[in-house]
Amino acid sequence: MLYRPLAVVASVTAVAVGFAVAQAPATPTPAPPVETPPVVVFLGDSLTAGFGLAAEEAFPALVAAALAARGTPIRAINAGVSGDTTAGGLRRLDWALKNRPQVVVVALGANDGLRGQPLRSIEDNLRAIVERAQATGAKVLLGGMLMPPNYGGEYASGFAAIYPRLAKQLGVPLVPFLLEGVAGHPELNQPDGIHPTAEGQRIVARNVEPYLAELVAAAPAAGGVKVGR
């Protein structure tokens, strides 16, 4: 049997251990968590869809760009459908909520008013939309609308009263009039006199932005958690 001096054995063992330590993989540094921007669904009609314009010229895209520029990015989903009513928006709501939005901007009612729909139906539909969105945990921003006086003073005033009443009862912020500074200005509307031009949409975006900025600042990240890369 071959005997080795203890010193030699100890030396070899130390070298082997040192080699093993040197070869051990370093513990990877975890990537910093990133927040997924809040999802904001804009549930509306042709005013939201940006009728006659490119998608990036519609106010939802313009608001998203403005918020990103101020360091508050969102993932905007334009759920505007030309010709839609409050009843149509209510029917589409389940689809919109599948996107798990943190904020829902409700901009409906103009087509109802232009068609002379019963005020009670308009209010009931809007109430249902807001309450169902709130039930998912989403915050809601309500966009107010007005009717021209030629629809009759009683109808126009009754229509206008729907939005502030709902906002107060349901505890949601209200853009008093979505088309403030645009309606009644021919140069800011397309030839039909109803749909904003690109410049008109920029004004609508400025009407909406401060209200939405407050809601987004208070909203959790998408899914309510931070997601690692």
Count of Cβ atoms closer than 10 Å to residue 32 Cβ: 8
Count of Cβ atoms closer than 10 Å to residue 125 Cβ: 22
Catalytic residues: 46, 192, 195
What would the pLDDT profile of 117-148 be if each residue is shown by its tens digit? 999 999 999 999 999 999 999 999 999 999 98
pTM value?
Answer: 0.82
What would the pLDDT profile of 72-102 be if each residue is shown by its tens digit? 999 999 999 999 999 999 999 999 999 999 9
Distance, in Å, from the CA atom of 70 to the CA atom of 190, rounded to the nearest integer, reads 30
Q: Are 131 and 169 in contact (CB under 8 A)?
A: no
Indicate the angle between helix axes 198-218 and 59-69, nearest 10 degrees. 50
What does the pLDDT average to over 172-182?
98
Distance, in Å, from the CA atom of 191 to the CA atom of 189, rounded to the nearest integer, reads 7
| Domain 39-218 bears CATH identifier 3.30.70.270 | no
Q: How does the average pLDDT of the chain come out, rounded?
A: 87
CA distances from 131 to 92, 122, 151, 169 (A): 14, 14, 29, 11
What does the pLDDT average to over 171-175?
98
The confidence score (pLDDT) of residue 151 equals 81
Sequence-ordered list of residues with C-beta below 8 angstroms from that of 178, at least 6 positions apart, any chain: 47, 107, 143, 144, 145, 204, 207, 208
Distance, in Å, from the CA atom of 140 to the CA atom of 156, rounded to the nearest integer, reads 24
What would the pLDDT profile of 39-81 be if each residue is shown by its tens digit? 999 999 999 999 999 999 999 999 999 999 999 999 999 999 9
